[in-house]
């Protein structure tokens, strides 16, 4: 979803949102996922067993807010076309990160704006 929105920004194309745009997702930056995997592997070695946890931010973001954040970071206003919600689409996605916080207390996933800024900086610098 984020990759598609960034592609739309770069192409000057409208975003297509299926539904009203207030459906939510819990996005996490790839470097935070890597840090989580590294921390989980270290914990597994210390404890002699692996445990399961959600790697996420615990913060839901609406698609409208995601688009607004991308617009703010790029200084653009990208048109959005809303279509009918699709059968089977998840309305709200919010991860319970309680176990992650217990197992990986040093892992602090970055906020969505910071993660998007990092992504856009990487694209700009190639």
What digits encode the pLDDT tens for the residues 14-52? 999 999 999 999 999 999 999 999 999 999 999 999 999
Each domain of the chain, given as residue ranges in start order, spans 2-120
Q: Where are the beta strands (DSSP E) in 12-103?
A: 15-18, 24-25, 61-62, 80-83
CB 103 within 8 A of CB 38: no
pTM for the model stands at 0.89
Superfamily of domain 2-120: UDP-galactose 4-epimerase, domain 1 (3.90.25.10)
In whole angstroms, give the CA distance from residue 116 to residue 110.
Answer: 10
Q: How far does Cα 30 stand from its chain's mean position?
A: 9
What digits encode the pLDDT tens for the residues 56-101? 999 999 999 999 999 999 999 999 999 999 999 999 999 999 999 9
């Amino acid at each position: 979803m984020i990759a598609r929105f960034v592609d739309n920004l770069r192409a000057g194309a409208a975003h297509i949102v299926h539904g009203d745009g207030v459906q939510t997702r819990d996005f996490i930056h790839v470097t935070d996922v890597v840090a989580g995997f590294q921390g989980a592997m270290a914990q597994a070695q210390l404890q002699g067993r692996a445990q399961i946890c959600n790697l996420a931010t615990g913060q839901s973001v609406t698609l409208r807010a995601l688009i607004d954040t991308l617009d703010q970071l790029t200084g653009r206003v990208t048109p959005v076309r809303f279509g009918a919600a699709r059968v089977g689409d998840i309305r709200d996605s919010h991860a319970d990160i309680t176990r992650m916080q217990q197992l990986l207390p040093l892992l602090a996933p970055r906020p969505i704006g910071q993660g998007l800024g990092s992504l856009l900086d990487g694209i700009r610098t190639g």
